Structure 1
Amino acid sequence: MAGQDFDFCVSRRLFLAGSASAALMAGISPRLALASDRPALPIPAEMRADPAGTIKLSAQASTMNFLPGVATPTYGINGPYLGPALRVRRGDTVNMDVRNTLAEPVTMHWHGLEIPGDDDGGPAEAIAPGATWKPSLTIDQPAATCWFHPHYYPSTAELVLKGLAGLFIIEDDDTDRLPLPSTWGVDDIPIIIQDRRFNPDGSFFHRFNLAAVTVGYVGDTVLVNGAINPVASTAKGWLRLRLLNGSNARSYQLAFSDDRPFYVIASDGGLLAQPVRMNSLPLHAGERYEILVDARDGSAFDLVTSPVMQMAMNLPPFDQTLPVMTFSPDGAETEGTMPDALATLPPLSSSQDLQTQDLKFGMNLDAEGMGLFMKAGLPKMRAGGSTDPEIAKAVEQVILEGPDLTQEAQLSANNINGVSFALNKVNFDLPIDTDLRMVFSEGTDKMLHPVHVHGCQYRVVTVNGDPAPEYMQGWKDTAAISQGGTVEVQVRFKHPATAEKPYMAHCHILEHEDSGMMAAFTVS
């Protein structure tokens, strides 16, 4: 908060020390054993539809002890922070019952699901305090690790920051036939990575100032499934990790501390054609990847993140390789393994005459606004190198004490195709059941924007003019552009979206989304 003395290293010390008092979430199954004084990795409880085909969710206020002896005000879904892992099958029709017990409106967006605009949970589907929303979701897409979170405009960032998010897992017969690790919390491990920053009183820091609408949320503490520096006691064998970047803005460059290789088997919308061997994986806000890692030797190892080329995101402790969590494969050996082939993906359209929708992401900041960051020395902060302490302090001061924006200034700070988002305004229309080309590009600001499109799963064709890397060649709903680059995708919308309940295309840096970097579109 402005005028308060923040300990620049406090969260780093807390991260490295861990917290024995980090509470397990309600609805979280404590299956993994506690190691030393560090918390066990909380595992979200699996939740399926009841015999009537209904899943009941409740957004509620609570508190959590992330830091020793300090209660942090939180929001959660069926518990104090985050929510259950919903499980559905392809072919199901699931009746959702979403109750809002908070004192402010919310929505609930089913991120990654191919469903009509009426059920998508975008900004037009507000759930008032005390009200219940009951969409019916017909699941007709491949097995995938999706997620759900609010999409209320213009407070999505604040709602997600406080804890409203959860996994939405789709199953199908084709994936069931593969010998993949499948025991929840044992060799099939959900990993929701978020960064947070705490005020001195333990509450989450968040301000809509110039820093927020420019670079997004800059945390200094990593949470995994709501715990700081947890330990996962797992099976000894192949592990399937379901990675979700649930952060408001931060990207991660993930690897393992012993440099062991891993294999990407699925992206946002489902399985790849075959496993892709990697040693390091970029994970942007809103993205999901499933990876397999060989833990048959039984030795413990850390999941780590390295500095990234994203403005302001390599402040300490992210100025060096940082441990995120530890895996201790000390359980019984399991039978899950890595198949040679995974899924059959349809070929991309070879037509050069596809209708094209361009989306150019830009900022409306004037020279004076950008000057604050130039003076703070952000251009000198380079990923992977040491950060000048004076520059870091200057940047930290802008983040913590930069002037708050009026809501009018916030809502017009960013844009797509030169137009800031406005409720009840449709920006473009697309045809249904037609192969389309979409091109995401970035203006002259050289910023990073993970682009999410509702109501679809797309295929990435090129990144900065080159063919998409192998690990991105499956089904995607979020892909990042940066440094003036472009991403070209092919997409086909299977369902309609009306002007009353349109789909959204937006940057998944939530502070960008809440400050105008979003476009509404119809499909008919």
Structure 2
Amino acid sequence: MNRRELLMSGSSLLAGLATSGLALPANAQGAAAQMDREDIRLPPLLDGRTSPIRLQATAGRTVFAGGAPSSTMGFNQGYLGPTVLLRRGTNTPVRIENGVDVPITLHWHGLTVPSSADGGPGTEIAPGADRDIELPVRQPAATHWYHTHVHGRTAPDVYAGLAGAVILQDDDEAGIELPRTYGVDDFVLILQDKRFDGSGRAVYEPSMMDIMHGFRGDAVLVNGQLRPIVRGPRGLVRLRLINAATSSPFDLSLESSRPLLLIGVDQGLLDAPTETGRVLLAPGERLELLIDLRQGEDRLMATSQSSMGMGGMMGGMMGGDAANAVLLTLAPDEGREAAVTSIPQRLPGSAVAIAATGARRRFVLDEGMGPINMMRGAVGASPVMTINGKPYEIDRVDFSTPVGAQEHWTIVASQMPHPFHVHGAKFQVLRNGGREPRPEERGWKDTVLVNGEAELAVSIDAETSEGLPFVFHCHILEHEDAGMMGQFTTQV
């Protein structure tokens, strides 16, 4: 089977991309229609700025969009977890308890902390066990997230809900007039797509094609809700968007075609607000947007056609025109006075590019679209995926580099786009797919959707501790679980 035949054989799966609408049985559709008028429910806040925090993995039963109860997991609740509030310059003790019947880890996606606290695959916590760590927070204000990261289980367990948001604050961000009252004008929005069975239960039963291309759902949920309403004062509101899907990117725009005002990416705020018509949010990435509700009600939309960054191929497979779907409604509340009404002219981020004068490295991401994986699929075995021809091995370290090094990495994704993520480091996108970075690819990043070749200037920031390496991998979680991951250590 050649590449084109293999891709076309998966077109029926891709045609059900998350943004195409909700596939629920008839008896649940009325309930779903009612639920899409619900106000957004934000995760509870867990303040780690001055106190230790405790996160317990918990099993739950969750109703999505009026369907039958689904088996889920979360931290301190049945689905997803609390928003953890951190502050730069603090050391936050964290106790992680495993109250579910599978092993977990707790990876702090975006935090540059020592590898023993990072929560990579080498820090498994068995059912009934716990782990104490400390988070030395030394980086700028940003929106991050946390999730389980057990090799071979990351996709199903994140899909089930073992993930949550992190808001990191600092004095520089506090000195800018921005919305920051949680749940009033500052909203955490965790995006996950779900696939439903005939009773409306969310299921995760990936086929061989799902693993090869990434598992796609029937609908995109926001904090577990279908098309919720975000109500804010008549002024500026701040949206902190986190893509916690296993593989689906979300191409976002406003229904009114008004520009989005982008103020932050993965690793923090930009140097100035940037207007853009749309933003592409790949798995693992975060974005911060400002929306002016004085301009009236609007809707945040997701578009399926360009969501994988595949250009004409995706458009052809989807049958032509892009399909829009409402993610959420943005509604002004006439009775609430806005705290912020003026757009800041400057932000505390830096636009200065680093000089990547250290080692030059090249990483080729390969999902193994060849006869060996086809034969494995025919007998019901999972595919094996690689970086530089090697599948992940927990005992292998691929390279070592000094803390503080500034390196030039080339990431190659020639078969299909892959979101590339690195632990313990951050980077600037120099070029991606032969073009200049899009607005959402500027600034400091830790995840980027690579389409062809991407050139990155990488800053190695965190220390290896307790002999545990950091990992780098594709953030299509099915690919990560299948072996598209490597490891490195750092030296002081």
Q: Shared fold (TM-score greater than 0.5)?
A: yes
Matched, 1:302 2:299: yes
Please name the residue that 1:421 is paired with: 392
In the TM superposition, what is the alpha-carbon distance from 1:222 to its structure 2 partner?
Answer: 1.2
Superposed counterparts of 1:174-253, under 5 Å:
174-253=172-251
Please name the residue that 2:32 is paired with: 19
In the TM superposition, what is the alpha-carbon distance from 1:492 to its structure 2 partner?
Answer: 2.0
In the TM superposition, what is the alpha-carbon distance from 1:212 to its structure 2 partner?
Answer: 2.5
TM-score (norm 2): 0.88
| 1:457–1:491 CA contact under 8 A, matched in 2 | yes
Please name the residue that 1:361 is paired with: 365
Q: In structure 2, the residue corresponding to 1:181 is in which secondary structure?
A: coil
Deviations 1:352-401 (A, max 9, x none): x43112111012232486799xxxxxxxxxxxxxxxxxxxxxxxxxxxxx
CA separation of 1:45 and 1:296: change in aligned 2, threshold 3 A: same
Please name the residue that 1:276 is paired with: 274
Superposed counterparts of 1:327-406, under 5 Å:
327-331=330-334, 332-336=336-340, 337-345=342-350, 347-350=352-355, 353-367=357-371, 405-406=380-381
| 2:24–2:197 CA contact under 8 A, matched in 1 | no
Superposed counterparts of 1:481-500, under 5 Å:
481-482=450-451, 485-497=452-464, 500=467
| 2:24–2:199 CA contact under 8 A, matched in 1 | no
Q: In structure 1, the residue corresponding to 2:202 is in which secondary structure?
A: coil
Distance 1:461 1:369 in 2: 33
Distance 1:78 1:182 in 2: 24
TM-score (norm 1): 0.83
Amino acid at match of 1:421: Y
- Percent identity of equivalent pairs: 33
Q: In structure 2, the residue corresponding to 1:175 is in which secondary structure?
A: helix
CA separation of 1:246 and 1:168: change in aligned 2, threshold 3 A: same
Distance 1:255 1:470 in 2: 14
Q: In structure 2, the residue corresponding to 1:457 is in which secondary structure?
A: strand
Please name the residue that 1:29 is paired with: none
Amino acid at match of 1:418: G
CA separation of 1:196 and 1:116: change in aligned 2, threshold 3 A: same
In the TM superposition, what is the alpha-carbon distance from 1:342 to its structure 2 partner?
Answer: 0.3
Q: In structure 2, the residue corresponding to 1:43 is in which secondary structure?
A: coil
| 1:124–1:500 CA contact under 8 A, matched in 2 | no
In the TM superposition, what is the alpha-carbon distance from 1:335 to its structure 2 partner?
Answer: 2.5
Please name the residue that 1:39 is paired with: 38
CA separation of 1:285 and 1:134: change in aligned 2, threshold 3 A: same
Distance 2:345 2:46 in 1: 31
Specify which of 167, 170, 173 is matched with residue 168 of structure 2.
Answer: 170
Superposed counterparts of 1:434-513, under 5 Å:
434-443=405-414, 445=415, 447-482=416-451, 485-497=452-464, 500-513=467-480
| 1:19–1:39 CA contact under 8 A, matched in 2 | no
Distance 2:217 2:291 in 1: 28
| 2:280–2:440 CA contact under 8 A, matched in 1 | no
Distance 1:340 1:404 in 2: 59
Superposed counterparts of 1:305-316, under 5 Å:
305-309=302-306, 310=308
In the TM superposition, what is the alpha-carbon distance from 1:306 to its structure 2 partner?
Answer: 1.1
Distance 1:189 1:511 in 2: 29
CA separation of 1:359 and 1:73: change in aligned 2, threshold 3 A: same
| 1:296–1:333 CA contact under 8 A, matched in 2 | no
Amino acid at match of 1:496: E
Amino acid at match of 1:11: L
Amino acid at match of 1:46: L
CA separation of 1:296 and 1:434: change in aligned 2, threshold 3 A: same
Distance 2:145 2:355 in 1: 32
Specify which of 115, 121, 124 is matched with residue 123 of structure 1.
Answer: 121
Please name the residue that 2:138 is paired with: 140
In the TM superposition, what is the alpha-carbon distance from 1:457 to its structure 2 partner?
Answer: 1.9
Between 8-17 and 330-339, the greater mean CA deviation after superposition: 8-17
| 1:239–1:292 CA contact under 8 A, matched in 2 | yes
Q: In structure 1, the residue corresponding to 2:22 is in which secondary structure?
A: helix
| 2:110–2:446 CA contact under 8 A, matched in 1 | yes
Distance 2:245 2:368 in 1: 24
CA separation of 1:368 and 1:141: change in aligned 2, threshold 3 A: closer
Distance 1:247 1:509 in 2: 8
Distance 2:223 2:369 in 1: 35
In the TM superposition, what is the alpha-carbon distance from 1:498 to its structure 2 partner?
Answer: 5.4
- Note the residue ranges of structure 2 that are not aligned, 5 or more in a row: 1-15
| 1:209–1:404 CA contact under 8 A, matched in 2 | no
In the TM superposition, what is the alpha-carbon distance from 1:495 to its structure 2 partner?
Answer: 2.3
Distance 2:350 2:392 in 1: 34
Distance 1:10 1:335 in 2: 35
Q: In structure 2, the residue corresponding to 1:424 is in which secondary structure?
A: coil
Distance 2:104 2:433 in 1: 36
Amino acid at match of 2:110: G
Distance 1:506 1:116 in 2: 18
- Note the residue ranges of structure 1 that are not aligned, 5 or more in a row: 1-7, 23-36, 373-401
Distance 2:244 2:401 in 1: 29
In the TM superposition, what is the alpha-carbon distance from 1:327 to its structure 2 partner?
Answer: 1.2
In the TM superposition, what is the alpha-carbon distance from 1:441 to its structure 2 partner?
Answer: 1.0
RMSD of aligned C-alpha atoms?
2.6
Distance 1:508 1:168 in 2: 18
Deviations 1:9-65 (A, max 9, x none): 99346898663786xxxxxxxxxxxxxx722211111111386x3100110101011
Deviations 1:448-475 (A, max 9, x none): 1000000122111222343323432211
| 1:251–1:308 CA contact under 8 A, matched in 2 | no
Equivalenced residues, count: 463
| 2:24–2:198 CA contact under 8 A, matched in 1 | no
In the TM superposition, what is the alpha-carbon distance from 1:208 to its structure 2 partner?
Answer: 4.2
Distance 1:256 1:272 in 2: 21
Amino acid at match of 1:436: E
CA separation of 1:133 and 1:73: change in aligned 2, threshold 3 A: same
Distance 1:508 1:131 in 2: 27
Q: In structure 2, the residue corresponding to 1:448 is in which secondary structure?
A: strand
Please name the residue that 2:86 is paired with: 88
Deviations 1:164-193 (A, max 9, x none): 110011000000010001111121111111
Distance 2:30 2:424 in 1: 42
| 2:67–2:199 CA contact under 8 A, matched in 1 | no
